[in-house]
Structure 1
Amino acid sequence: MIPRLHVPAALAAGLDTVLPPNATRHVQVLRLQPGAELCLFDGSGGEWRAEVRAIGRREVVVRALAHASVERELARAVTLALGMPANERMDTLVEKATELGATAIQPLVCERSVLRVAGERAERKAAHWQAIVIAACEQCGRNRVPTVHAPLPLREWLESRGDEDSGQRLLLSLDADARPLAAARGDQRNVTFLSGPEGGLTEAEQAFARQRGFEPVSLGARVLRAETAPLAALAVIAALEAAA
């Protein structure tokens, strides 16, 4: 398989580019030689056939050769807004959400959250998760890189969403009035899923989310873990698109 690497700079035919550190290490670990073929993507869409031009101890130079307009995105832009699960579970959630097609991920601090971060630590966490997203894109074939936003308190995030924001707002819920997710499918181009942390959202948090336009939807009678529910929702959206 031809190695796929992300380059955080605009690519152009015939342009030589120095790979970023993570991509450089990847080339070195694979022991590629000058002339080896690569697939590059810069996140703006499509991918580039490229080749290794030079390999040094600290940098690798590559050249973009030809662009292919290949897209592997969902038809709808999906944002996951979720109460962060603790420990490595958030890392896994971010990786798998990227593979399943999420466009953006908004980590949230909720009343029952175990993981609580703010300020500089929140920024570091977001940067760590963004690196996981890039690695997942390299693996799964996506050419557009999802954005992981810095964690925010749930109420602050909800208040920041204006009524004029377009798109469907869905709240993953076990409440009796929650519609099955498949039945709540809308025709908007954007959809945001709100999902709680370990222990779920409190009644007050759910009520405020409903006030902000979030419709409760259900994934079934079983209680899914905090890191499972948003991935299941994404999988439903992807399956519905594939069947359409």
Structure 2
Amino acid sequence: MRTPRIHVEADLVVGAILELPSAQMRHVAQVLRLAVGDRLIVFNGDGYDYQASLAETERHRSTIAIDGRSEPEPAPPLEIRLAIGVSRGERMDFALQKAVELGVNRLTPIFTKRSQVKLDGARLDKRMEHWRGVVIAACEQSGRRRVPALDRATRFEDWLDAQRNGGLLLDPGGTAALADLAPPEHGLTLLIGPEGGFDPSERKAAGARGFLGVRLGPRILRTETAPLAAIAVIQALWGDFKGT
């Protein structure tokens, strides 16, 4: 049986007794149904896994005893930053979840001219909290010990203004194939639109900022499929899929 693995936002130290936050306490007791003495792994994003056992469990309190620490997660051979147009509902969740599993290091949701989702204020705060949960859950499942950065969703124009080194724009009409490109020297920024893709003016603006249009074969992929296919190819060419 696989040892349960959970994220905890707390300082983790070998030899310490840690009281679990309420959400993790409920998960351990009600979902995992762990008993005193059962083993689990906890991580906080510092690059390590911590081995622990359930030391105490009561109705409103659970503690764990931390008794070991893993080796640090190796630094990735290629830092991948994904800027993705906000799409509706489960499409966005799926794209974020699988991007994390595939090894993306930074995620930026962007609102474009063709974005069908409009969020601001409290609604955006709530959605960001939800997406953060998706990212954390993907780390728990995939074994990642460092949590990718999740930037607050922003307008495409504002995000593009801050870009200095260009990147790759996934575009069915792109002139280049990923396999034909030289390996990136300083990480890679991948830009992908929402349902309906980018407006022509947005593609032009991205090109002016140094983004090269690239294609993925002869088919047009959905907004939640395109980043995953592209990231997998990028990892196989230059990242941590290479040679594995």
Instruction: Please indicate, yes or no, whether the TM-score normalized by the shorter chain is above 0.5.
Output: yes
Identity across the alignment (%): 38
Q: Which runs of 5+ in 1 are unaligned?
A: none
Confirm or deny: 8 A CA contact 1:93 1:227 kept in the other structure. yes
> What letter is aligned with 2:131?
W
- Alpha-carbon RMSD across the aligned residues, in angstroms, is 1.7
Q: 1:172 aligns with which of 170, 173, 190?
A: 170
Tell me the SS of whatever aligns to 2:227. Answer: helix
Query: Structure 1 137/72 Cα, relative in aligned 2: closer, same or farther at 3 Å?
Result: farther
1:229 equivalent in alignment to 2:226? yes
Q: Using the alignment, how far apart are the partners of 2:42 and 2:201 within structure 1? A: 46
Q: Using the alignment, how far apart are the partners of 1:72 and 1:125 within structure 2? A: 31
Counterpart in the other structure of 2:242: 243
**How many pairs does the alignment contain?**
239
Q: Which runs of 5+ in 2 are unaligned?
A: none
Post-superposition Cα deviations, 1:59-110, rounded to whole Å, max 9, x if no partner, equal 3211211111142764212111011111211111111111111111111111
Q: 2:160 aligns with which of 158, 161, 176?
A: 158
Confirm or deny: 8 A CA contact 1:72 1:143 kept in the other structure. no
Query: Structure 1 132/185 Cα, relative in aligned 2: closer, same or farther at 3 Å?
Result: farther
Query: In the TM superposition, what are the counterparts of 1:81-160 in structure 2 within 5 Å?
Result: 81-160=83-162
Please list every run of at least 4 consecutive aligned residues from structure 1 whose deviation after the TM superposition is greater than 4 angstroms.
none
Q: Using the alignment, how far apart are the partners of 2:114 and 2:48 within structure 1? A: 41
Q: 1:184 aligns with which of 163, 181, 184?
A: 181
Confirm or deny: 8 A CA contact 2:41 2:49 kept in the other structure. yes
Query: Structure 1 58/47 Cα, relative in aligned 2: closer, same or farther at 3 Å?
Result: same
Q: Using the alignment, how far apart are the partners of 1:68 and 1:114 within structure 2? A: 43
Query: Structure 1 185/138 Cα, relative in aligned 2: closer, same or farther at 3 Å?
Result: farther
TM-score, with length taken from structure 1: 0.91
Confirm or deny: 8 A CA contact 2:174 2:215 kept in the other structure. no
TM-score, with length taken from structure 2: 0.91
Q: Using the alignment, how far apart are the partners of 1:72 and 1:124 within structure 2? A: 33
